[in-house]
Amino acid sequence: MAGLYVHVPFCAQACSYCDFHFTTKLGDRDRMVDALVAEAEATLPEWREQRFHTLYFGGGTPSLLGAAAIGRIAESAFTHAEWNLREWTVEANPEDLDPDTLSHLRDIGVTRLSIGIQSFDPEVLQWMRRIHTADKAVQAVNDAAAAGFEHISVDLMYGLPVGAEERWAEDVQRACDLPVDHLSCYILTAEPRTLYGRQLEAGNIATPPDELVLRQYDVLCGLASEAGFEHYEVSNFARPGGHSRHNSAYWDGTPYLGIGPGAHSHKGQDRWWNSRSNAAFLKHASTADFRGQRSSEKLSGRDRFNEALITGLRRIQGVDPNALETQTGWTIEPNGALDKLLEDGRCEWVDGRLRIPEKHWPMGDAITLELMR
């Protein structure tokens, strides 16, 4: 099986923290839709040996395209590949989700919405440069549920340099009280090319202390558990039946194809990605020469071993050492680093799989680094 990711590189406004590929110049939306359709038509026939199970529109802000354009891109994908569609997700911002749009998204076959709320606190929303209000966020989720969406995810963010400490518990509780079956909750990281990164560099703002971030993580885990969410990946929580199939496939090594500027693809030992330039992508789309703007690499067994550790140890299942050896030729051998991690409780064996306990997940990247080859 495989997953298809469609990158929509447009946003109405640049958020203070975002380093994804996007532009706020919206004049090329129609040309970009044509180009995404063209790439799907040119690329998907090469994947005939794969049956696609998940479709994910990310960005950027895919909801800016409108349901008709999203449906047109999807129809091209459905026409040029083999499908057994189990999940179709569209990322959206609350301000784009009126009842008519939600009804149209349901009509074209979207099964899951990922709504970028980030916070319900006005001060935090203003610093983030988000357009929506807390009331609009709540309304969008309730309208989505009323429209028949059974799978709704909301994004929240913590570890911020603004806002009172107690606002995080309020954000999490408010999200848990909504008709959602999935939470994606991220610790904010500062990227150099963002407004937040520039504020830090200029000394106008300071990152929150690690102790605060860890307290917020504990609050998140506790409130989510009380509300019936399983913490199945470092940043992701799901009620029964609400796990993201598409993202879970990324983490377990399932092949995926990405279309659109900046989108990545992976199959076997090969990985490739499109240019992070709308202009370059559109230029090559005009001649259907999408290979001309791609970069690629071939992953060694060691690369695949390390990446499997990175993704696997972020999940509640952890990693299966036997499967790792079969897939990559490398093993998790007992050594000083692993022995120490097991001794101090930062790693554990559960049913023959190695994993990081939930309380240590915030430091998971550093723990994994000790085991990489």
Distance of CA 47 to the CA centre of its chain: 23
User: Is the full-model pTM beyond 0.85?
Assistant: yes
Quickly list DSSP for 208-230.
PPHHHHHHHHHHHHHHHHHTT-E
Predicted pLDDT of residue 287 = 78
Q: Are 122 and 164 in contact (CB under 8 A)?
A: no
Predicted pLDDT of residue 190 = 86
Q: Are 124 and 167 in contact (CB under 8 A)?
A: yes
Go through the domains of the chain in sequence order and give each one's CATH number. 2-250 (3.80.30.20), 302-371 (1.10.10)
Predicted pLDDT of residue 303 = 95
Predicted pLDDT of residue 21 = 87
Predicted pLDDT of residue 171 = 98
User: What is the C-alpha to C-alpha distance for residues 254 and 83, in angstroms, rounded to an integer?
Assistant: 15
Q: Are 22 and 91 in contact (CB under 8 A)?
A: no
Predicted pLDDT of residue 289 = 81
Written as one letter, the residue type at 329 is: G
Tokens in use for 40? 């799907």
Tokens in use for 304? 């695949």
What does the CA dihedral 207, 212, 218, 222 come to, rounded to 10 degrees? -100
- Hey, which bits of 226-287 come out as E strands? 230-233, 236-238, 256-259, 264-267, 270-274
Closest CA to 144 of 184, 186, 181: 181
Measured from the Cβ of residue 56, the count of other Cβ atoms closer than 10 Å reads 25
Predicted pLDDT of residue 119 = 97
> 3-state class of 82 per DSSP?
strand
What residues of the chain score a pLDDT lower than 70?
none
Closest CA to 357 of 307, 320, 315, 323: 315
Closest CA to 88 of 3, 155, 176, 194: 3
- Cα end-to-end distance, the chain, whole Å: 29
What does the CA dihedral 21, 120, 316, 366 come to, rounded to 10 degrees? 60
Q: Are 22 and 10 in contact (CB under 8 A)?
A: yes
